[in-house]
């Protein structure tokens, strides 16, 4: 009898580990992800292969980071998820340089995210009007930087053609259009104020600029939150979509789409495919779906469903709530992995999911699932970043590169182990690069204002030269 029980338990344990092993990546697999990311980077930069590349390597027309001489008051808009921010940023240059910020957060209703473009941009302008009134600046006209964290094609700093919506947005009449024009049209419809839209930037670029204000070695921006993306300073001679060989330009990688042509298929699992099949954009943003906060909770939920169906968890009994898509939030992963005491947090989350009779063994297994899914996400992100820093090192023909990466995003900031696993992966896969990670505070909005400040400063210099 004892032998039969022991055999059953051993068989169950082996089956659990077999399922989880599909989500564990070896060093060789991570090096292969790094190599494939490097290939896609080169394809995205080259004019001939750009259209076929999954990693689009979009030129941003940001040519330099702040040097401390910028000065003035700027408005910044930050649209990148379900919340939208309006900021007033006061930049003071000189020896006692400082950046002072005031901001307000506004929700974007589902109907605006998935209605018409006019409705979405009218809502944004309504929020700007509310903010200006709140700041006692009704009717003010200021230079404005627009952080717009969706894939855009840019031919200049103050234009961004939306290539495709991501992160659950579906507003009609926007894809293929210049978002600066859509914003200006909505401002004119309101007839209350006028704003000079100087720059449209991605949140990764804003993060890099904000951290670059503090650390001149910061030449990479990384976001790991609801979605994931990266940017870095590339040599102009490699940016074939833009004329000119001198200096550098920040390139918005749009790396979330890595894998859309099958580059990640041999690392993908049935759980990833289940998440992808039910997403609003099946077959798209495959790398992002294995890494970012919008999807990790759903991957965990699918693993838990599989374990339960095989009788390896919750005595084989599912709660109705656990069957609900999106019910296992990514923040649960952070809470569960932060819980060092008696699995109390796990039990409380399982009760919230209607699993009131879960056992201690169930809690231990749920915690292991969360740990494996988060570890894989951090390692995949680290492999991509290792490809980026190694590319910069090779561009500059250096045996050793010293560089800083500016990072923002809730998953990176709030998960107890994500950042350390990612750092460790970058160190392991790019040993010739000494990488420092600088956490950005208010990177995306502040960065848009700093890019606007740099652009306005440059325009003033050009004007003064022309007058002479």
Which one of 78, 122, 158, 203 is the catalytic residue?
Answer: 203
Which one of 16, 149, 248, 272 is the catalytic residue?
Answer: 149
Structural domains of the chain in order of their starting residue, each with its CATH number: 67-214+441-461 (3.30.420.40)
Tokens of 393: 């090192």
Which residues, 6+ apart, have CB-to-CB distance to 70 below 8 Å? 91, 93, 450, 453, 454, 456, 457
Assess whether 85 carries a catalytic annotation.
yes
Instruction: Pick the more confident residue, 438 or 318.
Output: 438
What is d(CA 403, CA 230) in angstroms, rounded to the nearest whole number? 15
Assess whether 464 carries a catalytic annotation.
no
Percent of the chain topping pLDDT 70: 95
Report helix angle 2-21 to 296-309, nearest 10: 150
DSSP character at residue 52? G
Report the range of poorest mean pLDDT among 160-169, 256-265, 387-396.
160-169
238-252 residue pLDDT tens: 999 999 898 999 999
Residue of 93, 90, 88, 46 lying closest to 68 (CA atoms):
93
Task: Write the burial class of residue 368 (CB in 10 Å: 0-12 exposed, 13-18 middle, 19+ buried).
Answer: middle
Looking at residue 153, what is its pLDDT?
A: 86
- Give SS3 for 446: helix
Share the mean pLDDT of the chain: 89
What DSSP assignment string belongs to 245-300? -SSEEEEE--GGGTTTTSTTGGG--HHHHHHHHHSSSTTS-HHHHHHSTTTHHHHH
What is the average per-residue pLDDT within 402-409?
A: 96
- Give SS3 for 218: strand
What is the average per-residue pLDDT within 252-272?
A: 96
Query: What is this structure's pTM?
Result: 0.87
φ and ψ of 224, to 5 deg: -135, 90
Confidence class for position 461, pLDDT limits 50, 70, 90:
very low
Looking at residue 442, what is its pLDDT?
A: 67
Does residue 289 carry a pLDDT above 90?
A: yes
Quote the longest CA-to-CA distance of the chain.
97
300-309 residue pLDDT tens: 999 999 999 9
- Please list the residues that pair with 104 across neighbouring strands: 86
176-225 residue pLDDT tens: 999 999 999 999 998 888 888 888 888 899 899 888 888 889 999 999 99
Does residue 123 carry a pLDDT above 90?
A: yes
Which one of 16, 36, 43, 85 is the catalytic residue?
Answer: 85
Looking at residue 458, what is its pLDDT?
A: 61
Cα 450–Cα 217–Cα 65 angle in degrees, nearest 5: 25
């Amino acid at each position: 009898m004892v032998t039969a029980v022991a055999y059953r338990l051993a068989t169950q344990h082996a089956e659990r580990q077999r399922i989880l092993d599909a989500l564990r990546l070896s060093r060789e697999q991570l090096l292969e992800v790094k190599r494939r990311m490097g290939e896609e980077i080169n394809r995205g930069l080259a004019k001939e292969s750009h259209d076929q590349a999954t990693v689009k390597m979009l030129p941003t027309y940001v040519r330099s980071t702040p040097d401390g001489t910028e000065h003035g008051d700027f408005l910044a808009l930050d649209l990148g998820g379900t919340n939208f921010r309006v900021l007033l940023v006061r930049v003071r240059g000189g020896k006692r340089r400082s950046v002072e910020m005031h901001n307000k957060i506004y929700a974007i209703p589902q109907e605006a995210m998935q209605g018409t473009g006019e409705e979405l941009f009218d809502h944004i302008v309504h929020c700007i009007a509310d903010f200006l009134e709140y700041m006692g600046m009704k009717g003010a006209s200021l230079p404005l930087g627009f952080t717009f964290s969706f894939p855009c094609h840019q031919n200049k700093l103050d234009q961004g053609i939306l290539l495709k919506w991501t992160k659950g947005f579906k507003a009609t009449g926007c894809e293929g259009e210049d978002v600066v024009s859509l914003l200006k049209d909505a401002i004119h419809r309101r007839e209350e104020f006028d704003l000079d839209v100087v720059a449209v930037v991605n949140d990764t670029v804003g993060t890099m600029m904000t951290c670059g204000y503090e650390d001149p070695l910061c030449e990479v921006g990384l976001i790991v939150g609801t979605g994931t993306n990266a940017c870095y300073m590339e040599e102009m001679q490699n940016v074939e979509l833009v004329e000119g060989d001198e200096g550098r330009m920040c390139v918005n990688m749009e790396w979330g789409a890595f894998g859309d042509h099958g580059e990640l298929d041999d690392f993908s699992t049935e759980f990833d495919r289940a998440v992808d099949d039910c997403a609003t954009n099946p077959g798209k943003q495959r790398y992002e779906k294995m890494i970012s906060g919008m999807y990790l909770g759903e991957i965990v939920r699918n693993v838990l469903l599989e374990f339960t169906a095989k009788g390896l968890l919750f005595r084989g009994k599912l709660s109705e709530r656990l069957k609900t898509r999106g019910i296992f939030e990514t923040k649960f992963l952070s809470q569960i992995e932060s819980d060092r005491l008696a699995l109390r947090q796990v039990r409380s989350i399982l009760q919230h999911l209607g699993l009131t009779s879960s056992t201690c063994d169930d809690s231990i297994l749920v915690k292991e699932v969360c740990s494996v899914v988060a570890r894989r996400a951090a390692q995949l992100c680290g492999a991509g970043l290792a490809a980026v820093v190694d590319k910069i090192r090779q561009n500059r023909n250096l045996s050793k590169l010293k560089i800083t990466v500016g990072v923002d995003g809730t998953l990176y900031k709030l998960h107890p182990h994500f950042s350390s696993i990612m750092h460790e992966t970058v160190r392991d896969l790019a040993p010739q690069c000494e990488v420092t990670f600088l956490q950005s505070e208010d990177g995306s909005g502040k960065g848009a204002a700093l890019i606007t400040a740099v652009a306005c400063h440059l325009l003033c210099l050009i004007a003064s030269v022309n007058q002479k």
